[in-house]
Structure 1
Amino acid sequence: MYRAMWKGRTALMVWMLAALLLAPLLACAKGAAPANAVLVVGDSLSAAHNIPAESGWVNLLQQRVKQQVKPAPAIINASISGETTAGALTRLPGLLAKHRPAVVVIELGGNDALRGLTPVQLRGNLEKMIVASQKAGAKVLLLGIDVPPNYGPAYRQRLKDVYAGLASQYKVPLLPFLLDGVALQPGLMQADGLHPTAAAQPRVLDNVWPHLKPLL
């Protein structure tokens, strides 16, 4: 009787050990992202709009982390041209569940402003994204935007205050303006005046990198 019980317990222990050993392999087989993944949620400024995808700053970021960070995190670009904060907020839970990122980079707001969304609405959507990311265990980097001067200084200041206020409240690093040193520069902006050229992408990455590197 005791011998049978011992054999049963031994078999159970062997099964449990095998399950523990196989779990990581099964996760990889299902395409689970590594725990140190960086998720970039943005709009056309991060989606390589009208330039080769490999030229975009997010793709250049993948190359840089491979050179400078060990182990190098996977860079997951979930940016979509034309994306708004409302659209990204809807997609974010699924992205967090699928990729389990260690860092979430939020680059949004330009399309909201161009469509006339109030800064209050913009702030509400960004805030929910920050909170959701932090609850999922991810660090957050916030990338700020600006709009053309014809929007007026008051509106532009309100936009800046949205990003600065969120960064302060939730203790997240902030790049105040993604296109600093790029916007309005000849040869660095496309004909539409809104999107950086391929030649500008390394400079955009240089703007992001000092704020992102400490999070990796």
Structure 2
Amino acid sequence: MAACLALASASAWAGTVLVWGDSLSAGYGLRPEQAWPSLLAKRLEGGKPSYKVVNASISGETTAGGLSRLPAALRTHKPSVVVIELGANDGLRGLPPKAMAANLQSMIDTIGKSGARVLLVGMRMPPNYGPAYTASFEAAYRDLAKSNKIRLVPFMMEGFADQRGMFQQDGIHPVADAQPLILDTIWRELAPLLR
């Protein structure tokens, strides 16, 4: 079930930032206000220009699921920027990186046709998936960003991925203390798109 939250309260907006992700953006195991998209909404409050944040992330979402839901979300929310944070569940299921990349490319194309700008957020797989798989998985994001000339966050957990205390008991989902770090990492690439 989509936890689609419009994370703002004012009435006049320069645009909408649509966060299109999985549990890492849906705030799995956290209170809604602790997740990085909520922190983003707070950061953008009163900004010039002023953007609202819609978090349409779903725990367990794959790139195929995200692709199938995207057209309706674009019609509903009419975003000016879409943050695509998908692919981790494809990787955890061992799905081919080429299939993931094809789904992401279709999303990028669909968003581009709507007139919105795209920020792609990458992910890395644990080393136990093998060097060939982890390398091709990571490269998929880099190649998509380069070929489409879009901004890329190479790894949303940059700077804390090796710190066990920054993750919940499952070892996958970051704790509340990690969310500001995620936001800072994403903000570096997102801020230039908010014009």
Q: What TM-score does the superposition give when structure 2 sets the normalisation length?
A: 0.91
User: 2:81, 2:118 within 8 Å by CA — same for their partners in 1?
Assistant: yes
The correspondence for 2:27, drawn from 37, 42, 48, is: 48
User: 1:33, 1:99 within 8 Å by CA — same for their partners in 2?
Assistant: no
Q: Kindly indicate whether residue 87 of structure 2 is the aligned counterpart of residue 105 of structure 1.
A: no
1:89-119 superposed Cα distances (whole Å, 9 cap, x missing partner): 0100000011111000000000001112101
Q: Separation in 1 of the partners of 2:146 and 2:126?
A: 25
Q: Separation in 2 of the partners of 1:38 and 1:207?
A: 16
Q: Separation in 2 of the partners of 1:202 and 1:101?
A: 23
Q: Kindly indicate whether residue 178 of structure 2 is the aligned counterpart of residue 203 of structure 1.
A: no
Runs (5+) with no aligned partner, structure 1: 1-31
Q: Separation in 2 of the partners of 1:113 and 1:186?
A: 20
- Report 1:104-183 matches (<5 A): 104-183=82-161
Shift of 1:190: 1.0
- 1:186 maps to which residue? 164
- 1:63 maps to which residue? 42
Q: Separation in 1 of the partners of 2:78 and 2:30?
A: 29
One-letter amino acid of the structure 2 residue matched with residue 142 of structure 1: L
Q: Separation in 2 of the partners of 1:153 and 1:72?
A: 43
Q: Kindly indicate whether residue 71 of structure 2 is the aligned counterpart of residue 93 of structure 1.
A: yes
Runs (5+) with no aligned partner, structure 2: 1-10
**Percent of paired sites with the same residue:** 52
Higher radius of gyration, 1 or 2? 1
Q: Separation in 2 of the partners of 1:33 and 1:90?
A: 30
1:131-157 superposed Cα distances (whole Å, 9 cap, x missing partner): 000110000000000111111121111
Q: Separation in 1 of the partners of 2:137 and 2:29?
A: 26
- 2:16 maps to which residue? 37
Runs of 4+ in structure 1 over 3 Å off: 32-35
1:134-191 superposed Cα distances (whole Å, 9 cap, x missing partner): 1100000000001111111211110111001110111100010011112221321111
Q: Which has the higher helix share?
A: 1
Distance 1:166 1:33, change over 3 A: farther
- 2:5 maps to which residue? none
- 1:8 maps to which residue? none
- 1:28 maps to which residue? none
One-letter amino acid of the structure 2 residue matched with residue 158 of structure 1: S
One-letter amino acid of the structure 2 residue matched with residue 113 of structure 1: G
User: 2:36, 2:182 within 8 Å by CA — same for their partners in 1?
Assistant: yes
Q: Separation in 1 of the partners of 2:72 and 2:149?
A: 24
Secondary structure of the residue aligned to 2:75 is helix
- 1:10 maps to which residue? none
Secondary structure of the residue aligned to 1:203 is helix
- 2:3 maps to which residue? none
- 1:73 maps to which residue? 51
1:46-103 superposed Cα distances (whole Å, 9 cap, x missing partner): 0000011100000000001115x31321100010000000001010000001111100
Shift of 1:128: 0.2
